[in-house]
Amino acid sequence: MKNLTDKIVSRSAEALTDEELVATVIAEGASDDAAIATARELMEGVDNSLQRLLMTDLSRLRMTSGLGLRRAMRLKAAAELGRRVALSEGAACDIISSDSDVVRIMEPKLGGLQHEEFWVLYLASSGRVLDSKRISQGGVQATVVDCRLIIKWAIQLLAAQVVLVHNHPSGSTEPSRQDCELTERVREAAKLFDIRLLDHVIVARGAHYSFRANNLIR
């Protein structure tokens, strides 16, 4: 590991390629060449996507490229560390001024899930986040959402605005007909209580879709 170690010491871990980062995590005393060869095989198996690699189930990951349980666990632990750092950074961003702020807060929660979840961010008139609540969770393609529950929490929190957020495990960010219909139902229900539906954001594997940015909410 001398070459990789020297590179980190002299230039920091930021200087490593994705392949070299994976090799460093899984090395466990192996030579640089052996670790990098395994890392290359792992990355090629997921189209060179770090996100797809770290989202791979432990049982499947351990069988890939002869990785084994111990090294697969190290990769999963590294992914979880990164997720928790992202969560803590998102929590520090408690003002919503754009869909990018929503993604920063919610992508660590939703980006790696294999099932669909629906959340609501409850905001003060200033955009400050009062609370975030998971309203429902479901299967790979859909989840059932109760509009009444969304409005109930908004009233209890004295929220002036709400942002709807859910994920698409399929990777597509395009809203479905059901997504659009639900958005309109929530908008109309919220309007009765002078609550503004600020946005509906769909999160999917490093990408997102904003209803407001696409002029579906005004």
- Domain holding 131: CATH number? 3.40.140.10
Q: Count the neighbouring beta carbons within 10 Å of the beta carbon of residue 39.
A: 25
Domain that holds residue 195: 95-210
Residues 23 and 48 placed together within one structural domain of the fold = yes
DSSP, collapsed to helix, strand or coil, labels residue 216 as: coil
Q: Using alpha carbons, list the distances in angstroms from residue 58 to 50, 55, 63, 146.
A: 15, 9, 9, 34
Which residue spans within the chain are E strands per DSSP? 117-123, 129-137, 161-167, 196-204, 207-210
Residues 66, 154 within the same domain: no
Residues 100 and 192 in one domain: yes
Same domain? For 76 and 99 the reply is no
- Please tell me the total count of domains within the chain: 2
80 and 100 within one domain: no
Last residue of some domain: 67, 87, 107? 87
- In order along its 218 residues, the chain shows pLDDT tens digits of 557 777 878 887 777 888 888 888 888 777 778 888 888 888 888 888 877 787 788 888 888 878 888 888 888 888 778 777 766 665 555 889 999 999 989 988 898 788 899 999 999 999 999 999 999 987 655 567 899 999 999 999 999 999 999 999 988 999 999 999 999 999 999 999 999 999 999 999 889 999 999 999 98
Please check whether residues 99 and 83 belong to one and the same domain.
Answer: no
8 A C-beta contact, residue 202 and residue 173: yes
Residues 99 and 186 in one domain: yes
**Same-domain status, 100 and 190:** yes
Nearest CA-CA partner of 210 in 92, 123, 110, 218: 218
- The answer to whether residues 103 and 83 belong to one domain is no
**CB-based contact 132:122 (threshold 8 Å):** yes
pLDDT of residue 88: 60
- On whether both 9 and 102 belong to a single domain, the answer is no
63 is a domain residue? yes
Task: Note the pTM of the prediction, 2 decimals.
Answer: 0.63
What local confidence, expressed as pLDDT, does residue 184 receive?
Answer: 96
